[in-house]
Structure 1
Amino acid sequence: MRMACLLAALSAALLSSAATAQTSEPARGGVIDVATIGEPPTLDPMASTADLVGIVSQHMFETLYTFGSDWAVVPLLAADLPEISADGRTYTVRLREGITFHDGSAMDSADVLASLKRWQTVASRGQQAATHIASVEAVDPLTVRITLKEPFAPLLSLLAFNNSAAVVLPEENVAVPLEKPVGTGPYSLKERKPDQYIQLVRFPGYKPREDAANGYGGARHQYLDEIRFVPVPDPNTRVEGAVAGQFAYADSIPVESVGRLQGGKTEAVTLKPFGWPVFVMNTKQGLLSDVAKRRAVLTALNPEDMLIAGFGSADFYAVDGALYPDGYNWHNEEGVSAYGKGDPEAAAAALQEAGYDGSTPLRILTSRQYEFHYKMAEVAAEYLRQAGLEVKLDVVDWATLTQRRQDPAAWDIFISHSPFLPEPSLIGVMQDTSPGWWVSEAKTKALNAFNTEADPAKRAALFGEVQRVFYDEVPAFKVGDFNAVAAKSPALQGVTPAPWPYFWNAYLAK
């Protein structure tokens, strides 16, 4: 799969890291503070789709597979890629030997079996996979067999993803809610002080892979002694803390602050293209359970005005309705003609025809911890008011938003964003159980055809029908494409630009 500029950036960074490793091994030691957009709602990586949870928890927990620098699935706790039967229904997974959990116990197939059963119950992505899984069994202490009801091409990507993740836990520690955050990762939890920090320390029993670092895969070296994730909800405070040298890394920096990051104690890190802001619509309950009203919202919104408000300069965004930009294998133009109308008058007529009463509020749930979410919400609200809708903005902290969006009675639209994911079936709205709860016969038919096809070229063509149904039924509004900016200390080396930043293989230059 071609991943355009993002892959070029990742590959260049990895080549640079490899060259550095050949000349000298980075020094071990040091502590870094990483400023995040807030307090994660949980440290259970199965229980949340919030990126913040994945950013922190991926240092403690590991999955059977992960993604390499070209977004291909690569083994992590699995010894290698699975053996797949000729009919595409049986996956035989060999496990690495000598893997130890943070509590000192050894990982085996019983742990994997218990974890995958928990994942299918607790995690929204596990629930998505569960509908296709006939059985999971432990063949021997180092072998697990997954049998599918029918071929399901996204399975390995679902097992690899760090969001609603299929992490491996000790068999004795699979209670819900999670009692102890014990994983196999390079860092373990030492202390968590809510709203102050999450302190991770090097796990001495960690066994890295022997292959070279490769995106999220390959060797994960523990150069740093300690990583502290510090919640800093205010974006300007994150910027000023980075400028002052308070943070070695600050995530999600407003683009208008890039000028403040030049030189001195910090520098800008840009990931281009990063992903897309998204207005997820509540198809299950309330005003937007009516597809005609969702189509009216789509007609009303002007994506360029929203992107200008959110990012200021065209250097940081692109007006694009395709779910994947040009240069990605999944790019197509099916259904995109419905995008970008910005026509409140036409939307008003559509709302009247759909029977809107003129007084029922449209509740938009957003947060200022991602400032561009809030700025886009303000612009969207004005366009929707021009279309005759009564709009209410509910502005909450990010942790509250991730909890409140689980309640279909609490909102009509919530604002989020997503990186461009390597497998389209990982997109939140593609899951029936994801907040928004988009379920339809047309969606099921299009996704089933797409997901049961193994040939990549045929799958790319079939994704056109998925995107056409997306625009016909409007479960969400893709605002456009955007680039992400973070701040990094020049002393912090070995950090590869990535959608979910990670700090194994990172080190402090002497």
Structure 2
Amino acid sequence: MRMITALLMGTALTILPSSLFAQEKGGVINVATIGEPPTLDPMASTADLVGIVTQHIFETLYTFDKGWKVTPLLAEALPEISADGKTYTIKLRTGIKFHDNTDMNSEDVVASLNRWTKLASRGKQVAGFIDSITATDPSTVTITLKQPYAPLTSLLAFNNSAAIILPAEKQAEPMTDFIGTGPYMLKERKADQYIQLTRFDGYKSREGAGDGYGGGRHQYLDEIRFVPVPDPNTRVEAAVSGQYDYIDSIPVESYARLQGSSSSEPVMLKPFGYPISVFNTAEGSAKNVEIRRAIRQALNMEDMMAAAFGSTDFYALDGNIYPASFVWSTDAGVAGNYNVADPEAAGAAAKAAGYKGEPIRILTSRQYEFHYKMAQVAAEYLKLAGFTVDLQVVDWATLTQRRADKGLWDIYITHSPFLPEPALIGTLSTSSPGWWDTPERDASVDAFTAEVDPEKRVALWANVQKAIYDDVAFIKIGDFNAVAAKSKKLQGVDPAPWPYFWNASIAK
């Protein structure tokens, strides 16, 4: 399938390729994250923070290269796909060891994929299309589908709700043994203090240089420590002072300060992704699609984006889920439904839909400061429309727990990078918090995922976007650039939506 070469990996910071540095082995880096991950089981969570940490411990059969094409990781090569598109034969790399020094084989892969289809939201997304997953021989796995399913390899490659490979005997739910095949292994986790990873000496890297998340994964560092720093202002000060080697998710207004730091430098991904308001379509006031439409009608996306990002250097108004640089870009469903900003008309529409003043419960977190700022602006516009608003500000781990309960919320604020395959968008899954499940959703998404012809899939994606707008599964607010910071001594770290450090080193 033709994949997308997008601007996602672009950066405002000039970074030389890792191959130009004489990287030395040794040292420890400290990475400041937005908080404590709710779990270290990447199957059990769609939180980016979980993926950022656990991608160093666990690996998938495939991953993405720097051009966002699927590339082998634990698999030897891309799958052999039968002419009817229903049989995927996957050859595995040999000599791969888990952190307990046992060898990976096809039985481990089968057990892991079965766990993924049962537990992970994206695995559940695939499960209905799978007829069987079998171990053909010790180094071959065969996946047989009931019908063609084009996104399969992309879903197997994604590090979010990830199809990680675990030892067959360590498939507990919830996970009790954090044993993967990754270049680093878990040594210690102290809640709200740090997660300590150490080099796995038995790791077998792929050949060659790093290529996005693919290619060689070299272990220059002795240790990686992920430290939760929930307050964004504290992360800024830590970046300016050089307290940490990498600082994730920096408020964009600090960009100029970082440019003046003697210790750190800013890293900007442009465009990075899009913030969204996700609706609970299963229970509560937002179950009513007319109420969801009235809420969308009230909101001023321009004011929300300006409050969150300040300058248009860091954001753009765009109702298309994918921007113009992506082949998936379409304006289907956007006209008349994006940035309407008419609270008075929204109030009348809500009343006509039967709204009687029930609180609209909005979940947000200040660990992503831009989420909180957008939620504040949204709350004011909803109040102007006559809605009663209950703005609940919690830490990110609590938010990810609460959003799993249909009875606790009506809207939650989140964001996503622009993903290379639209089927990776979490809200398309009926099991994802939001629980969007309508006939229009089923018809459009099923047709899109069953089609294997790239050009036909682009047209079918337009139907999916229209269904999202018609059903108001979520509201896209705009496009934004993401800012992080890195030490000037840290080498081999390329800008990425989920930063990784297996090819990182410290300049001596």
Partner residue in 1 for 2:421: 423
Alignment of 1:176-191 (within 5 A): 176-191=173-188
- Is the Cα–Cα contact under 8 Å of residues 10 and 497 in structure 1 kept in the other structure? no
Letter in 2 for 1:380: A
- 1:75-474 aligned within 5 A: 75-262=72-259, 263-337=261-335, 338-357=337-356, 359-474=357-472
Question: Does structure 1 retain, via aligned residues, the 8 Å contact 2:4–2:420?
Answer: no
| Offset, 1:245 | 1.5
Distance 1:173 1:369 in 2: 33
Contact persistence 1:11–1:69 (CA under 8 A): no
Asked if the contact 1:10–1:69 (Cα under 8 Å) also holds between the matched residues in 2, the reply is no
* Deviation readout 1:136-170 (Å, 9 max, x if unpaired): 00000000000000000010011000000000000
- 2:52 and 2:499 in contact (8 A); partners too: yes
Structure 2 residue corresponding to 1:51, chosen from 29, 48, 56:
48
Change beyond 3 A, Cα 1:8–1:234: closer
Deviations 1:378-412 (A, max 9, x none): 00001001111000100100000000000010000
Cα distance in 1 for partners of 2:392, 2:7 equals: 36
Which whole-Å deviations, capped at 9, do the CAs of 1:304-351 have from their partners, x for residues lacking one? Answer: 000000001110000001010001010001011111101101101111
Task: Give me the whole-angstrom Cα distance separating, in 1, the residues matched to 2:6 and 2:311.
Answer: 21
Q: CA deviation at 1:8?
A: 4.7
**Pairing partner for 2:34 from 21, 33, 37:** 37
CA distance in 2, matches of 1:3, 1:377: 32
Letter in 1 for 2:230: P
- Asked if 1 retains the 8 angstrom alpha-carbon contact of 2:10 and 2:269, the reply is no
Q: Is the 8 A contact 2:44 2:119 kept in 1?
A: yes
Contact 1:79 1:96 in 2 (8 A): yes
Distance in 2, matches of 1:365 and 1:227, equals 31
Aligned mates of 1:478, 1:203 — CA distance in 2 = 41
The question of whether the paired residues in 2 share the 8 Å contact of 1:6 and 1:272 is answered with yes
Per-residue deviation at 1:256? 1.0
Q: Quote how far apart the aligned CAs of 1:4 are.
A: 3.6
The answer to which of 466-475 and 239-248 deviates more is 239-248
Between 72-81 and 449-458, the greater mean CA deviation after superposition: 449-458
> Which whole-Å CA distance do the structure 2 matches of 1:478 and 1:319 have between them?
10
Number of aligned residue pairs: 504
2:67 match: 70
SS at match of 2:17: helix
**Do 1:54 and 1:163's aligned partners in 2 also have CA atoms closer than 8 Å?**
yes
Aligned AA (1:146): I
Aligned residue for 1:411, secondary structure, equals: coil
- Residue 490 of structure 2 corresponds to which residue in structure 1? 492
| Kept after mapping to 1: 8 A contact 2:264/2:487 | yes
CA distance, structure 2, for counterparts of residue 211 and residue 76 of structure 1: 13
Q: Following TM superposition, by how much is the alpha carbon of 1:117 offset from its aligned partner in structure 2, in angstroms?
A: 0.6
Whole-Å separation in 1 of the counterparts to 2:13 and 2:177: 36
Distance in 2 between the 1:230 and 1:148 partners? Answer: 42
Normalised by the length of structure 1, the TM-score is: 0.97
Note the alpha carbon deviations across 1:29-74, whole angstroms, 9 max, x for none: 1100000000000000100000000000000000000001111100
Contact 1:281 1:412 (C-alpha < 8 Å) held by counterparts: yes
Which amino acid letter does the alignment assign opposite residue 164 of structure 1? S
How far is the alpha carbon of 1:10 from its aligned partner? 11
Q: Letter of the aligned partner of 1:17 in structure 2?
A: S
Q: What are the Cα deviations for residues 172-215 of structure 1, in whole angstroms up to 9, with x where unaligned?
A: 10010101110000000111100000000000000000133111
Give 1:457 shift: 1.1
CA distance in structure 2 between the partners assigned to 1:420 and 1:384 by the alignment:
28
Counterpart position of 1:27: 24
The residue identity in structure 1 corresponding to 2:18 is: S
Structure 1 distance, partners of 2:210, 2:32, is 25
CA distance in 2, matches of 1:442, 1:423: 20
Letter in 1 for 2:491: Q
Deviation of 1:12 (Å): 8.4
Q: CA RMSD in A?
A: 1.3
> What SS does the aligned partner of 1:46 have?
helix
2:294/2:346 contact within 8 Å kept: yes
Q: Which amino acid aligns with 1:277?
A: P
Unaligned runs of 5+ in 1: none
User: 1-side partners of 2:305 and 2:175: how far apart?
Assistant: 39
Instruction: Tell me if structure 2 keeps the 8 A contact 1:282–1:413.
Output: yes
Distance 2:13 2:308 in 1: 29
Contact in 2 for aligned 1:2/1:327 (Cα 8 Å): no
User: For residue 17 of structure 1, what is the aligned residue in structure 2?
Assistant: 18
Aligned partner letter, 1:154? P
Q: Percent identity?
A: 64
In the alignment, is the contact (CA less than 8 A) between 2:40 and 2:50 conserved in 1? Answer: yes
Which residue of structure 1 aligns with residue 480 of structure 2?
Answer: 482
Q: Which amino acid aligns with 1:48?
A: S
Q: Per-residue deviation at 1:5?
A: 2.5
Render the CA deviation track for 1:484-506: whole Å, top value 9, x for unaligned.
00011010011010000000111
Residue 9 of structure 1: how far off its partner (Å): 4.7
CA contact (8 A) 2:53 2:226 kept: yes
Deviations 1:442-479 (A, max 9, x none): 11101111111111111011111111111011011110
Given that residues 201 and 226 in structure 1 are in contact (C-alpha distance below 8 angstroms), is that contact kept between their aligned partners in structure 2? yes
- Of 5, 20, 38 in structure 1, the residue corresponding to residue 7 of structure 2 is 5
1:494 maps to a residue whose letter is G
**Inter-partner Cα distance in structure 2 for 1:245 and 1:348:** 49
Q: Answer whether contact 1:322 1:336 (CA < 8 A) is retained.
A: yes
Distance in 2, Cα, partners of 1:421 & 1:434: 17
Contact 1:364 1:377 in 2 (8 A): yes
TM-score by length of 2: 0.98
Q: Distance in 1 between matches of 2:29 and 2:321?
A: 36
| 2-structure distance, mates of 1:315, 1:456 | 33
Are the counterparts in 1 of residues 59 and 165 from structure 2 also a CA contact under 8 Å?
yes
Q: Could you say what secondary structure the match of 1:183 adopts?
A: coil
Q: Partner amino acid for 1:35?
A: A
